[in-house]
Chain A
Amino acid sequence: MSSNRYAVLSGNIAMAMGGAAAAVKFYCAYPMSRSTGVLHWMASHARKAGIMVRQVEDEIGVVNMAIGASHAGVRSMCATSGGGFALMSEGLGLSAMMETPVVVIDCQRAGPSTGVPTKTEQGDLWQMLGAAFGDYPRAIAAPLDIGDCFKVIPEIFNIADRFQCPGIVLCDLLLSEGRLSVDPKELDFAPVVDRGELITPSSASGGTNGDGAYKRYKITDSGISPRAVPGVPGHTHTAASDEHDEDGVLISDEFTNPTKRRAMMEKRMRKVRGIEAAVPPPLLSGPCDADVTLIGWGSTKGVIEEACEILTEQGISANQLQIRWLVPLHGDAILDILKHARHTIIVENNYSGQFARYLRSETSYVPNGYIRKYDGEPFMPHHIVEAVKEQLGGASKISVPAHEILV
């Protein structure tokens, strides 16, 4: 025991404070259970923190308002749960097409539809992967614990700003409304803030006249084009949801142009490489030559860790591969880690094995077994321990532990 004083907080408060640390200036939301904690913290601390907080008429308005504020030059964030996120999906495409960054938090709860609003699940992964139509670069991160809920926000803002694309934080009820004591040292209010290639009226190049040569969507090797915000002299342009040329002029309707369309598509998609390089691959924790490797993502980090400890005590050595960045996934790095594994099991809080299917689609990797839970309750360590023993004994390849405590 140390004599340090700890802060006790929920994941929602951590994400809200992470936003304040990340220099978020605009936060808006529609009340939706599992995410309202972010709104409540933002609203009650807005004036001290200098953050504009708005409650909006629906989630469609939320994402579009956040994009508007971001387009005018301030960092903007919003949070919701699965149903609200479904309404935001078209807006994410707008963010991608106009190359205006926005960060959206999804606090997952048991679905589909209204589902079990007061219970947890990791069932929104494919909604995040497939949100909005068309191909576009995006970043998706799943925080691993409540302290990480704070840390992930500045990180994903730097990615969204640098690559001018939407960033999604995939949280869930377990973290959002769970509480943990966190060392205040982990709550860093002076993280790196990288706004990327942004031209504002007060930035150096913003004061000069662009003499008409400025191209908002200039084709570059990185796919990133300097972004001027309204108010900068000499840089007027239109940002459009229609496909457009380098200077923002539409190449849709009667002006379609296959060559230019291809060039613009490739320009945007080149950002995927940059995002991948900017995000670290996942790491294996525990002994390399373990009897079993447990693979999880996001909020299951703690319970899998505990299960590994119990298994080790019982003579079964176990290690853990916990995925934090879902996009970019770093599939090659994952394969490199897993090729040495003796027996792999994917643990996740949903019915269909959403991450298992995603990993397979990206890498062709098929694990030895699966542990799943979709009764609305999180895993308890013994659920995983017993399922691992059952699977190592060859009894089954897929385990769905029953939740013994009914509340």
Chain B
Amino acid sequence: MATALVDPKHVTMSDFKGKVDPDWCPGCGDFGVLAAVQKALVELQIPVHDVVTISGIGCSSNFPGFINTYGMHTLHGRALAVATGVKLANHELTVLVTGGDGDGFGIGGNHFLHTMRRNVDLLYIVMDNQIYGLTTGQTSPTSRVGMKTKSMPFGNIEAPVNPISLALAAGATFVARGFSGEQKHLTELIKQGIQHKGFSFLDVFSPCVTYNHDNTYQWFRPRVKKLEEDPAYDSAEWMAAMDKSLVWGDEIPIGKFFERNDVPALHEAEPVLNAGALLYHEPRIPLDIARSFVEELM
């Protein structure tokens, strides 16, 4: 029987269960993202100790505490910078970055832009709920115009960012959008994002049931339309992806917008890493090389 032949190294959903249960509000979209990430890691059979989950600050940034991998729960907006350091120091690790729209597109906007153009090999999952949840309901960089929040009680007058077009313009080599209410589809996107060699951006509609009464599950369900169901759509075409990224209204596309595999990831482009992951390099500089450094100055 199968049970008698279980490989001790085989990882299961229970291996990825965190030390504590999530304290997200009942019905929060982030539960769906957590489950999809765990399922994707099981399906890819990645050992728990080879995964680092890195976040900033916010409801969704509590994610690393709810999954059993190595975790870093860093500063608001800084997860991508920390993650770049982790990946470059040991590129054998699978690096996942999780956070929210305020964390990634607001306070962390600069790192978002530059991590994409560097093509750092990691999967960045943004649980985009178009609101600040942890701070109890203020306008976020993806809140729609007119949306009333505690910080803009008479309605938002600022245009939201379009994370998909932004990622495409910044040179992300894998760009996708998922919906927390579409588990199987989301799991598939996460698997693809992890397997992609380079920067993978996954924006996930993850409704905030407590503070965002505009963009609810009920609002998204009839609108989301999977790109994979359109046989004419080619995710290798950047211009087509850019066009598709601008579609928003009665129909909102989800799925893989774009992927290219001809750009080396940052760690592949760096000659210092030809000798393998930095962590395993000889710590000391050979003395003859050190002597040559001093000789230059004499």
A5 CB to nearest chain B CB (Å): 5
Instruction: Flag whether B180 is at the interface (Cβ < 8 A).
Output: no
B276 CB to nearest chain A CB (Å): 11
Q: Could you tell me the distance between the alpha carbons of A73 and B277 in the complex, rounded to whole angstroms?
A: 11
Q: Could you tell me the distance between the alpha carbons of A232 and B279 in the complex, rounded to whole angstroms?
A: 12
Within 8 A of A (CB), among B95-129: 110-111, 113-114
A5-B298, A13-B297 known; A57+B113 contact, CB < 8 A: yes
Question: Is B270 a contact partner of A52 (Cβ separation < 8 A)?
Answer: yes
Within 8 A of B (CB), among A37-57: 45-52, 54, 56-57
Q: Which residues of A contact B1 (CB under 8 A)?
A: none
Question: Is A239 a contact partner of B23 (Cβ separation < 8 A)?
Answer: no
Instruction: Flag whether A333 is at the interface (Cβ < 8 A).
Output: no
Q: Could you tell me the distance between the alpha carbons of A173 and B92 in the complex, rounded to whole angstroms?
A: 40
Q: Which residues of B contact A247 (CB under 8 A)?
A: 19
Q: Which of chain B's residues has its CB closest to A13's CB?
A: B297
Instruction: Flag whether A254 is at the interface (Cβ < 8 A).
Output: yes
**Residue from the list A57, A61, A239 in contact with B73, Cβ < 8 A:** A239
A68 CB to nearest chain B CB (Å): 2
Q: Which residues of A contact B111 (CB under 8 A)?
A: 57, 60-61, 64
Q: Which residues of A contact B287 (CB under 8 A)?
A: 189-190
**Residue from the list A98, A193, A201, A240 in contact with B283, Cβ < 8 A:** A193
A21-B290, A94-B75, A190-B287 known; A52+B81 contact, CB < 8 A: no
A25-B283, A26-B88, A231-B93 known; A65+B82 contact, CB < 8 A: yes
Instruction: Flag whether B154 is at the interface (Cβ < 8 A).
Output: no
Instruction: Flag whether A6 is at the interface (Cβ < 8 A).
Output: yes
- Mark contacts of A1-17 with chain B using CB atoms, 8 A cut-off: 1 yes-contact digit, 0 otherwise: 00001111100010001
Instruction: Flag whether A109 is at the interface (Cβ < 8 A).
Output: no
Q: Which of chain B's residues has its CB closest to A72's CB?
A: B89
Q: Which residues of B contact A54 (CB under 8 A)?
A: 84, 88
Instruction: Flag whether B64 is at the interface (Cβ < 8 A).
Output: yes
**Residue from the list A8, A64, A232, A249 in contact with B298, Cβ < 8 A:** A8
Question: Is A65 a contact partner of B81 (Cβ separation < 8 A)?
Answer: yes
Count chain A CB atoms within 10 A of each CB in B23, B64, B75, B289 and give the residue with the most: B75
Q: Which of chain A's residues has its CB closest to B73's CB?
A: A240
Count chain B CB atoms within 10 A of each CB in A28, A49, A231, A249 and give the residue with the most: A231
Interface of B is mostly: helix
Q: Could you tell me the distance between the alpha carbons of A184 and B297 in the complex, rounded to whole angstroms?
A: 10
**Residue from the list B19, B49, B72, B281 in contact with A231, Cβ < 8 A:** B49
Question: Is B71 a contact partner of A71 (Cβ separation < 8 A)?
Answer: no
- Mark contacts of B273-298 with chain A using CB atoms, 8 A cut-off: 1 yes-contact digit, 0 otherwise: 10100111111110101111110011
Instruction: Flag whether B144 is at the interface (Cβ < 8 A).
Output: no
Instruction: Flag whether A23 is at the interface (Cβ < 8 A).
Output: yes
Question: Is A200 a contact partner of B64 (Cβ separation < 8 A)?
Answer: no
Question: Is B20 a contact partner of A249 (Cβ separation < 8 A)?
Answer: yes
B56 CB to nearest chain A CB (Å): 9
Q: Which of chain A's residues has its CB closest to B114's CB?
A: A57
Instruction: Flag whether B69 is at the interface (Cβ < 8 A).
Output: yes
Q: Which residues of B contact A242 (CB under 8 A)?
A: 73
A332 CB to nearest chain B CB (Å): 36
Interface footprint category on B: 35 or more
Instruction: Flag whether A74 is at the interface (Cβ < 8 A).
Output: yes
Q: Could you tell me the distance between the alpha carbons of A65 and B79 in the complex, rounded to whole angstroms?
A: 9
Q: Could you tell me the distance between the alpha carbons of A56 and B275 in the complex, rounded to whole angstroms?
A: 23
Question: Is B73 a contact partner of A69 (Cβ separation < 8 A)?
Answer: no
Question: Is A241 a contact partner of B57 (Cβ separation < 8 A)?
Answer: yes
Q: Which of chain A's residues has its CB closest to B63's CB?
A: A238
Q: Which residues of B contact A230 (CB under 8 A)?
A: 49-50, 52, 70, 86, 90, 93
A66-B85, A72-B279, A254-B23 known; A236+B69 contact, CB < 8 A: yes
**Residue from the list B48, B57, B62 in contact with A236, Cβ < 8 A:** B48
Q: Which residues of A contact B280 (CB under 8 A)?
A: 202
**Residue from the list B50, B75, B285 in contact with A189, Cβ < 8 A:** B285
Within 8 A of B (CB), among A220-265: 229-242, 247-250, 253-255
A211 CB to nearest chain B CB (Å): 13
Question: Is A236 a contact partner of B68 (Cβ separation < 8 A)?
Answer: yes
17 A-B contacts (beta carbon < 8 Å) = A13-B297, A21-B285, A56-B114, A60-B111, A61-B111, A68-B82, A71-B89, A72-B90, A74-B279, A187-B294, A190-B287, A230-B70, A230-B86, A230-B90, A231-B90, A236-B69, A241-B73
With A229-B90, A238-B70 already in contact, 6 other A-B pairs whose C-beta atoms are closer than 8 Å: A17-B293, A60-B81, A65-B82, A68-B87, A235-B49, A249-B20
